[in-house]
């Protein structure tokens, strides 16, 4: 019995990354960014513009997929724990209060990658199955 439970847990651990959030989106940064790992909390704060600079001092420039994108729905649900509509509401409040504007939106993986390649402080996300050429993939804990 114990051996069967152990085998099941091992299988879940091995399959988890392939079937979990990692399969839905990938976080990317400019190829010259020295960062390799972020926590989910750090990532969320970067996209809400609560963390505004990289450790190097370069301003963080988050870029979102368009609101109807499946990658954006997954990213928002997993990183922020809310639907896209709740984050849109947050940004409306920030704009109304004169505090901040939301990250730029780009239509599709190619546009996100082009933006990240062109901006040293950029961070974005692409679909899980997309090939990330010319950018750096981050590990999210």
pLDDT at 112 over 50: yes
22-140: CATH superfamily: Periplasmic binding protein-like II (3.40.190.10)
| Cα-only R_g, the chain | 17
Q: Which phi and psi angles does 53 have, rounded to 5°?
A: -135, 145
This prediction has a pTM of 0.83
62-104 confidence digits (pLDDT tens) = 999 999 999 999 999 999 999 999 999 999 999 999 999 999 9
Q: Concatenated DSSP letters for the chain?
A: -HHHHHHHHHHHHHHHHHHSGGGTEEEEEETT----EE-HHHHHHHHTTSS-B-TTSPBPEEEEEPTT-HHHHHHIIIIISS-HHHHHHHHHHHHHTTS--PPEEESSHHHHHHHHHH-TTEEEEEETTS---SEEEPEE-
Residue 2 banded pLDDT, cuts 50, 70, 90: low
35-67 confidence digits (pLDDT tens) = 999 999 999 999 999 999 999 999 999 999 999
Q: Which phi and psi angles does 81 have, rounded to 5°?
A: 70, 25
């Amino acid at each position: 019995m114990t051996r069967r439970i152990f085998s099941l847990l091992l299988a879940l651990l091995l399959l988890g990354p392939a079937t979990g959030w990692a399969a839905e989106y990938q976080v990317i940064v400019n190829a010259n960014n020295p960062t390799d790992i972020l926590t989910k909390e750090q990532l969320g704060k970067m996209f809400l513009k609560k963390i505004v600079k990289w450790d190097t001092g370069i301003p963080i420039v988050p870029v979102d997929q368009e609101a109807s994108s499946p990658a954006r729905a997954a990213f928002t649900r997993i990183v922020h724990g809310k639907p896209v509509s709740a984050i849109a509401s947050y940004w409306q409040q920030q704009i109304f209060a004169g505090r901040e504007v939301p990250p730029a939106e780009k239509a599709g993986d190619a546009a996100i990658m082009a933006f990240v390649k062109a901006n040293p402080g950029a961070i974005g996300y692409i679909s899980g199955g997309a090939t990330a050429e010319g950018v750096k993939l981050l590990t999210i804990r």
